A and B are shown apart, each in its own frame.
Chain A
Amino acid sequence: MHREFLMGNEAMAVGALAAGVDVVAGYPGTPSTEVLETVARRNPGHVYVEWSVNEKAGLEVAAGAAYAGARSLVTMKQVGLNVASDPLMSLSYVGVKGGMVVLVADDPGPISSQTEQDTRTFAAYAKLPLLDPSDPQEAYEMMGEAFELSEELGCPVIVRPTTRVDHGSADVLVADEGDWARRTPEGFVRDPGRWVIFPALSVRAHAAIEARDAELSRRLSSYARNAVRQTAGPDARPRLGVATHGISATYVDEALREGDDVRVLRVATPYPFPDDLAERFLDGLDEVLCVEELDPVIERALIATCGRRGLHVTIRGKLTGDIQPSGENTVESVSEALDRFLGRKPAGSSPRAVPHEPEAPVAPPCEEDCLSTEKNPPAPPQLPVRPPVLCAGCPHRASFYAVKRAMRGRKAVFCGDIGCYTLGNAAPLDMVDTCLCMGAGINIAQGVTRVEPDTAAFAFVGDSTFFASGITGVVNAFYNQANMTLVVLDNSTTAMTGHQPHPGTGRTMMGQVVERVSIERVLLAIGLRVVETVDPLDLDAAVATVRRVAEEPGVKAIVFRSPCVVLARPQARSTVDAERCVGCLRCVRELGCPALVPDAATGKVAIDAAQCTGCTLCEQLCPTHAISGGERP
């Protein structure tokens, strides 16, 4: 064993490798992405790793490997589980032979997600055991335990970290590579009664699962990570209890102070819920505060335990308004809740939780003990707002700008999708009217035109999203005779999550160079007659292409192809000729490129050489030709 400084996601990857995982699949999504990347980076050689086209594919690949007796892992974020839910619900009935772990990263806040859904709730719905780690060390250890449990029970086991565990780092004690397990899978054994789901199998399986989970609940009451402790020692007789889980357990640890007399229950397996342990926890208590993030899972389970076992304990938490119903917990929010619950005096600092704003996080206010009160507090100046933006030189900016210019004055709807290009919604581009979930924009555009046939409908979709779940939408549009323009923003990578390869890149996570899947050939094979590819950074050509293609009937497509600037090295940056610049600031107002900085003193524009990529879009736009010298990567 040795210590390493690891992010929670890295720790879980090493935990899977140490447990002898054979096959790892997944689809990138914050905050889960680094798990699979770390497996690939530290692959001892025999582990098969892939980025699948989406979470459903990844889960099915992992299931097949587990059918064949291997240990398999599939990784995704919480909304990815929605995509993978179809196979997972049935797999719960069919089961697996080798150990299979479904790693789903939840995102309280949410910080980088569409929803605040709770995979603990999903586990109860799918009737699958779930482990809920509270720090990187526990997350590492739980991976091995999850594989063991999965193999023993013959069903997938979910490991559910949250963002602060995924992206929190700590010094973690891990196994040396020489001690990593190495197994030889038995292989797939034909057995139609086992692997082919029919109602007869489902009838048997459902009954067996209910019996298994009742028994498992009893067993998990003695699982060491489900634990009860007392702050005033084992002989104290507290009347108040706190029930918690995951990262919130660490906030409770820090928020409890000397002199507090409470019993604390930590729930590492919210499903199956450890009922017997909960009953022992509740014994002799008057009230319990449940400190949870996302859904009130433990709170509901304790209410059920009280009802089932005739206990008279008041259960407080989200359902009673004692804990915020949404958003992240913090040490401060938990400390305040404990102050109220325990009737104790607030500590020196009494800050409060503020709703998390992903666009511009701001330090929560504090009332005492921080510097704003150490003397007459100066009033903070108005600060510029700093939401995330498309990078300087991003080809998506050029694509949106070309469509905007081409369609100026026309009635149009611009449906967006999931990726960096969702940022095209911001001023000054203002080119994303809708965004729902992966691939949805293509079908939403069709729905709008069913109601407003005179609206020109555009659907913007990134290359990775096109492969993940865009293709079926195009088939739907073509088959049902829709009238719309598909715009594929092909920057040849999965940029938002950190540049993962996909079927269009011709690279795999096993390091192979393979034949690319051609977006144009896919579209032509569906039947589209107009599929035009153009470089969005060639402004005149891009605008002309949009004008021409949008006039065609039926479903037609434009592929804007230009590589992500983060991956391309600039050749030469643009510069501004101050003599020629008349300070109209058209470049700034129309493009919103972070490298274009107006000079307050001269009123003219300057270019931040550290950010400029030489994309030349501003050069092509400048009415006085004052900008030049850029050279595209």
Chain B
Amino acid sequence: MSAREKDRAAAGSGGGATSTSIVLAGVGGQGTILASKLLARAAMARGLQVRTAETIGMAQRGGSVVSHVRIGDGASSPLVGPGRADALIAFEPAEAARQLSYLRSGGTLVTSDAPVVPVSAATGGPAYDLPAVMAYLRASVAPERLVVVDAAAAARGLGTTRALNVVLLGAAARAGAIGLTADDLAAAVRDVVAPRFVDLDLAALATRWDRPIAP
């Protein structure tokens, strides 16, 4: 608990003068753009300045995608620099590993544990070694700053994989990693999300789907 509070205090001083920098990493089609929009709207509702940058275009077809979110007055450009992210929210473990160098010392990693195996891994490209990826993430990020979301449990509980983006945001908020609360995000969901998905996303926020981290 005290470690989390310390992280939270540190979160405000990582990127610029008074900004919180968040990087979202995933696979095109996983909902990173909506997730960054929810973060932005939640921050705006708190009266904070927001800058975001998105990957839009060809990479959305199943490629690696990254969204940058910068909250607070210290942010003039929308891009988060390497080693500057207070939080890295990864929708997929290999993408967490790929973008890990965005995370600052003392930053929090929130990642899904469910791999999305690319076609390349089955057609002659480098293999997807999930245990090696997870071991790398555990070795790189201290346990109190690593949140691994049990994506399968969330999908079973919610009846769909569609809300993974909101599940991850909820985990990041509870970890104190993004300077926003689950309630802030719930208000943004009501504001931004299409009406037929609001209840699903609120349910995704209401429950903790984290996997306990083995010491």
Interface residues of A (CB under 8 A from B): 3, 5, 7, 30-31, 111-112, 135, 164, 167-171, 247, 250-251, 253-254, 330-332, 349, 351, 358-366, 368-374, 377-391, 420, 423, 426-428, 496, 585, 588-589, 592-594, 596-598, 610
Tell me if B140 and A378 are in contact (CB < 8 A).
yes
- What are 9 contact pairs spanning A and B, CB under 8 A? A31-B57, A361-B55, A361-B59, A370-B83, A370-B105, A371-B103, A389-B119, A423-B58, A598-B122
A135 to chain B, nearest CB (A): 8
A388-B37 contact in complex given A331-B77, A371-B103, C-beta closer than 8 Å: no
User: Complex Cα distance A596/B136, Å?
Assistant: 27
Tell me if A384 and B53 are in contact (CB < 8 A).
no
Tell me if A370 and B122 are in contact (CB < 8 A).
no
User: Complex Cα distance A184/B100, Å?
Assistant: 56
Tell me if B94 and A383 are in contact (CB < 8 A).
yes
Tell me if B51 and A360 are in contact (CB < 8 A).
no
B51 to chain A, nearest CB (A): 5
Tell me if B44 and A171 are in contact (CB < 8 A).
yes
B46 to chain A, nearest CB (A): 11
Question: Which residues of A are found within 8 Å of B62, using beta-carbon distances?
Answer: 386, 388-389, 391, 594
Residue of B nearest to A496 (CB): B58
Tell me if B56 and A167 are in contact (CB < 8 A).
yes
A378-B139 contact in complex given A372-B101, A383-B94, A427-B124, C-beta closer than 8 Å: yes
Tell me if A592 and B119 are in contact (CB < 8 A).
yes
B121 to chain A, nearest CB (A): 4
Question: Which residues of B are found within 8 Å of A386, using beta-carbon distances?
Answer: 27, 62-64, 94-95, 118, 120
Q: Looking at the complex, which one of A3, A167, A387, A426 makes contact with B53 (CB distance below 8 Å)?
A: A167
Tell me if B136 and A363 are in contact (CB < 8 A).
no
Q: Looking at the complex, which one of A3, A7, A383, A388 makes contact with B133 (CB distance below 8 Å)?
A: A383
User: Complex Cα distance A301/B50, Å?
Assistant: 34
User: Complex Cα distance A385/B127, Å?
Assistant: 9
B96 to chain A, nearest CB (A): 10
A594-B58 contact in complex given A363-B100, A370-B82, C-beta closer than 8 Å: no
B141: interface (CB < 8 Å): yes
Question: Which residues of B are found within 8 Å of A371, using beta-carbon distances?
Answer: 83, 100, 103-107, 140-141
Tell me if A383 and B98 are in contact (CB < 8 A).
yes
Tell me if A363 and B82 are in contact (CB < 8 A).
yes
Tell me if A388 and B101 are in contact (CB < 8 A).
no
Question: Which residues of A are found within 8 Å of B95, using beta-carbon distances?
Answer: 386
Question: Which residues of B are found within 8 Å of A427, using beta-carbon distances?
Answer: 120, 123-124
Question: Which residues of B are found within 8 Å of A351, using beta-carbon distances?
Answer: 81-83
Q: Which 5 residue pairs across A and B have the least CB separation, nearest first?
A: A370-B83, A112-B57, A388-B63, A366-B83, A378-B139
A316 to chain B, nearest CB (A): 22
Tell me if A389 and B59 are in contact (CB < 8 A).
no
Q: Provide the B89-116 mask, 1 if CB < 8 A to any CB of A, else 0.
A: 0000011011111111111000000000
Tell me if B123 and A428 are in contact (CB < 8 A).
yes
Tell me if A370 and B99 are in contact (CB < 8 A).
no
Q: Provide the B68-89 mask, 1 if CB < 8 A to any CB of A, else 0.
A: 0000000011110111100000
A384-B120 contact in complex given A167-B54, A250-B77, A371-B100, C-beta closer than 8 Å: yes
Question: Which residues of A are found within 8 Å of B81, using beta-carbon distances?
Answer: 330-332, 349, 351, 364, 366
Q: Looking at the complex, which one of A253, A363, A381, A594 makes contact with B118 (CB distance below 8 Å)?
A: A594
Residues of B26-70 contacting chain A, CB below 8 A:
27-29, 36-37, 40-41, 44, 49-66
